[in-house]
Structure 1
Amino acid sequence: MLIYLKRNLLAVACMALVITACKKNSADEPTPEPVPQKKGIQLASTTTFGAVLTDKDGKTLYFFASDVAGTPTCSGGCETTWPIYYSADASTDLNLNKAEVGEVTRADGRKQSTYRGYPLYYYASDAAAGEIKGDGVGGIWFVAKPDYSLMIANAQLIGADGKSYTSAYAEGTGNTKYFTDAFGRTLYAFAPDKNGVNNYTKGATQEGIWPVYQAEVLIAPSVIAKTDLAVITVASIGKKQLTYKGWPLYYYVPDAKRGDNKGITVKPATAAVGSVWPYVYTTTTVAPAP
């Protein structure tokens, strides 16, 4: 009987030690850190488009080609399909370049968030986070990405002579689609160039007026075939230059503002507008062989 009691007392003592140890271990365990709340513009990874911009809840954001100048042009009924996006919160996404995030005040006084100067929108038909149904709509709406090397503008051509031109370079009004860089600066081809051959740039002095467009990241809106993009080396200045359908691409320095396209009227007096420094778009023909 005495032995039985001793065994029971020992068992109870052991259980007490275990319970005490468990309590001590539980108390010693650190409290889990709360999951940080997402704020502002975020980056999401997609299979089809790669990195895209979203809001804090994962809903896709878009660029509008007609906003190339940085001024929102989607208003009224357009906003029913393309609601504007605005967040006063700084982005909490550590992979996003915060310096490229901004905001603009619309004509009605409301604010709208921007990325690389492009106002950001939702697409009403994207019902859930992660959906991207608005890319390519009308050839002027594109999913917002942080890494485009080309963008598409949809704006009025206005030459250095102050006159308005159509897409066919005739005097008149109406938007034209043309390529810009990721920040809305217009890109041009040089008519005497050949496929993959820069015949214009002979040195740094000449490049001062028509700088080559340096880009080695071949990422463009979905309506632009990636196979039409390539990179050449311009030996005279030791720089890389992006080409489209074989045409080396250039800036025009007097294009001081986003979307400016004054270079189309640079030509000899007897030549036609756009015959020497044309804008570039998907309708541009393939550059001739060297």
Structure 2
Amino acid sequence: MKKSIFLLFTSISLLSSCSSDDSDTIIDPDPTPDVNAVRLVTDPTFGNILTDADGMSLYFFSRDTKEQSECNNDCKTAWPIFYKADLTLDDGLDAADFGVITRTDGDKQNTYKGWPLYYFFNDNVAGDTNGDKVGNNWYIAKPDYSLMYAEAQLIGRDSDGNDQNFTSEYVVGDELTFYMTSSTGRTIYAFVNDTKDDNNYTAQDFSNDPIWPIFHIDIDRLPSILDRNDFGTIDVFGRTQLTYKGRPLYYFGQDTNRGDNYGVSVPSPGIWPVVNTDITPL
């Protein structure tokens, strides 16, 4: 009887010892893979889009032209902000393109190429993209937009050099106006004296190009309000310039900060209009 008790005690001791020794080396047979905070997901309609770790779509707001959120109060309820302090990224995304802002309400929010990132309250499951083109000022967040579509107050300057608000009709007044920008928010203009597919501004030696630089980029992906077929290219003394509805496109050299649109009043209001889908084709 004593021998049996001894053998039982020895077996229990050995079992406990083995369990203790192995506890540091047990491997989860079905580990959960790490998922990045921002994912690069292929959508059948939009191509590559940005989502969170759960696959919920992220969005840009056209009014956020100055790297600050213009979506507050009720807007913020419908478009919850996206923020992760530890912003791990999928391959194909560049950490230099991401940033963080502190909103006017004190909350922090992640940005991509200066555009704050949001969710849409009516996206219910991963893969939903119901927020795209809502109000013509919300667009699915993509890493490869060639251009962006902005909506902001036009601010030129008066004869004394002071800031002055203009409407879409280029008269003094307050109004939000739609217009195209580069992917990073630089305003794009047309010239009223240009003719169809013909640049009538740029000098052959490009001596005046620093004032109104010709604009060109290879069109890849566009916000859904823009039609790729409306764009073309022309040759300007050996350089390529992008056109929209036959109108050559330019930057303004004195737009030094993101969101500037000072060109609307140079040399007088309306000579260099911003460019949007309502512009008259040439």
By the TM > 0.5 criterion, same fold? yes
Which residue number corresponds to residue 286 of structure 1? 281
Matched with 1:27 is none
- Choose the corresponding residue for 1:143, options 140, 143, 161: 140
Query: What is the distance in 1 between the residues matched to 2:42 and 2:196?
Result: 35
Gaps of 5+ in 1: 1-30
Which residue matches 2:264?
264
Q: 2:269 aligns with which of 254, 266, 273?
A: 273
**Distance of 2:241 and 2:93 partners within structure 1:** 26
TM-score (norm 1): 0.82
Tell me the amino acid that sits aligned with residue 197 of structure 2: G
Specify the alignment match of 1:248 in structure 2. 248
Corresponding residue for residue 90 of structure 1: 87
Give the aligned partner of residue 193 of structure 1: 194
Go from structure 1 to structure 2 and tell me whether the alpha carbon gap of 1:279 and 1:35 turns closer, same or farther (over 3 Å shift).
same
Which residue is equivalent to 1:228?
A: 230
Deviations 1:85-136 (A, max 9, x none): 0111233311112211111111122110000000000000000111000000
Q: Please say if residues 99 and 110 of structure 2, whose CA atoms lie closer than 8 Å, have aligned partners that are also in contact.
A: yes
**Residue 219 of structure 1: how far off its partner (Å):** 2.2
1:21 corresponding residue in structure 2: none
AA aligned to 1:166 is T
1:69 and 1:258 in contact (8 A); partners too? yes
1:120 aligned partner: 117
Q: Is 1:52 matched with 2:49?
A: yes
TM-score normalised over the length of structure 2: 0.84
In structure 1, the partner of 2:165 is 164
Partner of 2:10: none
User: Distance in 1 between the 2:90 and 2:233 partners?
Assistant: 31
CA deviations on 1:230-277 (whole Å, 9 max, x unpaired) are 22232x2x332221111111110111111111101112xxxx511x21
Amino acid at match of 1:208: P
Partner of 2:22: none
Residues in 1 aligned to 2:133 and 2:41: alpha-carbon distance in whole angstroms: 19
**Pairwise CA RMSD:** 1.8
CA distance in structure 1 between the partners assigned to 2:174 and 2:254 by the alignment: 22
What is the rounded CA distance, in whole Å, between the counterparts of 1:36 and 1:241 in structure 2?
A: 47
- Structure 1 runs (4+) greater than 3 angstroms displaced: 31-36
Query: Which AA in structure 2 matches 1:183?
Result: T
Contact 2:89 2:95 in 1 (8 A): no
Q: Is the 8 A contact 1:216 1:231 kept in 2?
A: no
Offset at residue 217 of structure 1 (A): 2.2
CA distance in 1 between counterparts of 2:269 and 2:239 reads 29
- C-alpha contact (below 8 Å) 1:51/1:145 kept by paired residues: yes
Tell me, yes or no, if the aligned pair for 1:40 and 1:88 is still in contact at 8 Å: no
Whole-angstrom CA distance in 2 between matches of 1:148 and 1:133: 19
CA deviation map 1:157-181 (0-9, x unaligned): 1103221111111111121111111
SS in 1 for 2:207: helix
Relative to structure 1, the CA distance from residue 35 to residue 257 in structure 2 (aligned partners, 3 Å threshold; closer, same or farther) is same
